[in-house]
Amino acid sequence: MYPRVSPHGMTRRARTGTPRSRPRASRSVRRRPSHIRQNLRLWQRQSAWYDRHFAGVLGGRQAMAWGGWRVPESRLHALGNPRGRDVLEVGCGGARWSLALEKKGARVVGLDLSPAQLAHASRLRRRAAARLGLVRGNAERLPFAPSSFDLVFADWGGFTFADPLRTVPEAARVLRAGGRLVFLTSSPFRVLSQYRNSERMTRRLLSDYFGMHRIEYPEEVNFQLPYGEWIRLFVESGFVVEALVEIQPGPKDRSRYWSASEEAWARHWPFESLWQVRKVSAERSTGGRRRAQRRAGIRSATRSTNHVG
């Protein structure tokens, strides 16, 4: 999951335990932006290890829990009541969140870039005899018609590994008026205070805050924005901000994902951000969304669906 799981620390551990089978890139994959190709390679390579290693904390009673400290949704109430809602999880991995939401009465689609990750989702769906839709796709070009969902969400998913200047307007496009976008990802603070090639945190600021956007790690690319840029992007895309929950682990909380250095740091400064925004209206969002898309250099809006099942 989490940037460091895959990113740095965890990636290094994953490398030792996972076969280095590299999927051959098709022509359409080669045309994707470099960060998409790089992150796809990472998730193809570490998927088996990731699913095995974290199944215990991602599934069962913790299926509906947020971030590296697995803070229960029953405590945060970030998603609201899912019953009867059309829900899209962007970067669903093994789709444990999605399957749990279906059990609560939602109609859910899980989307992921990685076929290996979707294979785990497909296996778990079969085991649960669930109806969950699974779609292979990229968070930056969602293969759905406008106004298809009431809720779009991710837990260290597509809003971490893909460019928010593209993903946030895309989420606005596929949401109905009044629908909500909720996602957990890194905080900007963490990016400023972490060594890029290790799991170590520092109390110093290691990089510029202004201009923060594409974050290069040895094996993957993440994205992050200054707080003001996030808010501008949400507003331009037609959202109002309802909440930003900054996760602070308690003294006894332990994470399976984060190193001791990260955990100690996170008790003092925000390491993970849980954004909750609501689409105001279709009309208001269209103009701003176009402006945000122009800034990201997006021209075409044609979509096709590639259902895995």
Ligand X SMILES: C[S@@+](CC[C@H](N)C(=O)[O-])C[C@H]1O[C@@H](n2cnc3c(N)ncnc32)[C@H](O)[C@@H]1O
Beta carbon of residue 307, minimum distance to ligand X (angstroms, whole number)? 15
Binding map of ligand X across residues 144-173, x = CB under 6 A, - = no contact: -----------xxxx--xx-----------
Site string for ligand X, 9-38 (x = CB under 6 A): ---------------------------x--
Q: Closest separation between CB of residue 162 and ligand X, Å?
A: 4
CA–CA gap between residue 218 and residue 15 (Å, rounded):
12
Instruction: Report the C-alpha gap between 21 and 13 in whole angstroms.
Output: 16
Among 11, 14, 43, 57, binds ligand X (CB under 6 A): 43
Q: Does 78 bind ligand X (CB under 6 A)?
A: no
Contact residue for ligand X among 11, 18, 122, 138 (CB under 6 A): 138
How big is the CA angle at 218 (ends 248 and 16), to the nearest 5 degrees? 90
Measured from the CB atom, is 204 or 302 closer to ligand X? 302
Query: Is the distance from CB of 2 to CB of 67 less than 8 angstroms?
Result: yes
CB of 260 to ligand X, least distance (A): 21
E strand or H helix at 208: none
**CA angle in degrees (0–180, nearest 5) for 39-196-222:** 30
Neighbours of 38 (CB within 10 A): 17
Tokens of 118: 């979707």
Q: How far is CA 292 from CA 141, 166, 254, 287, in A?
A: 14, 8, 38, 9
Q: Closest separation between CB of residue 39 and ligand X, Å? A: 5
- Does position 67 interact with ligand X (CB under 6 A)? The reply is no
State the residues that interact with ligand X by CB under 6 A: 1-2, 36, 39, 43, 58, 90-94, 96-97, 111-114, 117, 138-140, 155-158, 161-162
